[in-house]
Amino acid sequence: MRILLIDDDADFRVLLKKLIRAEWSRAVVDEIDPLQTEPAPRDIDAKRYDLVLLDHQMGHISGLQLLKSFRQIPKFPPVVMLTAFGNERLAAAAIKCGADDYLPKSRLTSSQLVTTIRESLRGALGPKLSPMAFSSRRKRGGSAVGVSIKGYDVTEKIATGPASAVFLAHSHNLNKKVVLKILYGAFELSDEHELLERFLIEYQSISAIKHPNIVEIYDVGVADDHAFIVMEFIEGGSLRTRLQQSGSLAPDTSLKIAFDLVGALAAIHDVGILHRDLKPGNVMFRRDGSLCIIDFGLAKQVQIEQAITQPGKIYGTPYYMSPEQGQGLAIDIRSDFYNLGVLLFELLTGHKPYVAGTPVALVFKHTYAPLPELPEKLNKYQFLIDSLMAKKPADRPQSSAQIFELLKHCQTL
């Protein structure tokens, strides 16, 4: 990985280089002191670098103006703006000018820097858990799709991610179709315990819950260097697909779905678990029409949060995450309630409440933008959206029971 660092503070450049090389020992960091050599954007070889770290103000030189010039260059690498303070207005200006992210120098930590670099590179380079890290392992196994687990005939790959994949399989013991989720190279990740722990917590958390609106877990195990989970096969399609087909759902249908989701969240919260990633793609329908929440890969047990989560680390989908979740702050059940509010808004309108070009900009909108407004024909439900999507957790419902009461009131309108 090669990074270009443009900053007029020599001491800070030394610090950044040390932090970067502590995580990526073979990274190359080139420096430009703009007060010594004023950077000419057209003279910078964009193809040479994977990332640019750019100071906001360097003497008489404006980093924002440089950023605008960089964005005129085809295929210019991601740019992270460095600011002296955590000024939201300045961060917004940087994003507007084309920055992929920003970092405040005054409270910069190693984990913040590493996380920001990884997110800006979008997993393509540098991260130990990039897709390429698993490419050779995915060719192992004896089945047609490269996976062999005793007791299961794997027939089809359903989905894949950077470190895991989901397959359709036939269970010998159950004599029916099941879904098989596999974490690749689990025991080779000796320096990446968090991923394996999260995967196992997914099973431990859900298997103890018996609820009609939560996917059923059948088995968990290990095979070769893979950890796996076997779960219920749900063949009625996803809520995301229904939204794509219809654009929006009728209010009574939307409220019914919200009722079921609140019930599922209540069951999860009762055992000390947060979902953290409630979205249409994680809601599936069975053949009988009942729905259930799936994919608890981001679920966490509240009581062991500090053991597996680095401070300031963000998990979740930016379109649906709460303001506190997007800022990497401590979260509780009220964050899941915010996710539910975003989802309900999308059910009623057919579109997301906030859209933006980058994840960082989305986080800013969830945190600072005015509450989204429903169309006039739906304004009788506005109080529900305002309550669930309140910026401050203290202004949201404090329990599932309170949300049930709000939903019951909506049904009488």
**Which tokens in the block code for residue 207?**
């298997």
Q: Are 331 and 339 in contact (CB under 8 A)?
A: no
Q: Are 296 and 206 in contact (CB under 8 A)?
A: yes
Q: How far apart are CA 281 and CA 339, in angstroms?
A: 13
Which amino acid belongs to residue 349? T
One of 277, 332, 336, 395 is an active-site residue; which one?
A: 277
Q: How far apart are CA 313 and CA 306, in angstroms?
A: 11
Q: What is the DSSP string of 39-103?
A: --GGGS-GGG-SEEEEESEETTEEHHHHHHHHTTSTTPPPEEEEESS--HHHHHHHHHTT-SEEE
Q: Are 331 and 325 in contact (CB under 8 A)?
A: yes
Has 277 been annotated as catalytic?
A: yes
Residue 104's beta-bridge partner residues?
Answer: 83
Q: Are 339 and 322 in contact (CB under 8 A)?
A: yes
Length of the chain: 413
**Which tokens in the block code for residue 129?**
């858990």
Q: How many CB atoms lie within 10 A of CB 380?
A: 12
- Inter-CA distances, 234 with 155, 201, 237, 326, Å: 16, 22, 7, 30
Catalytic residues: 277
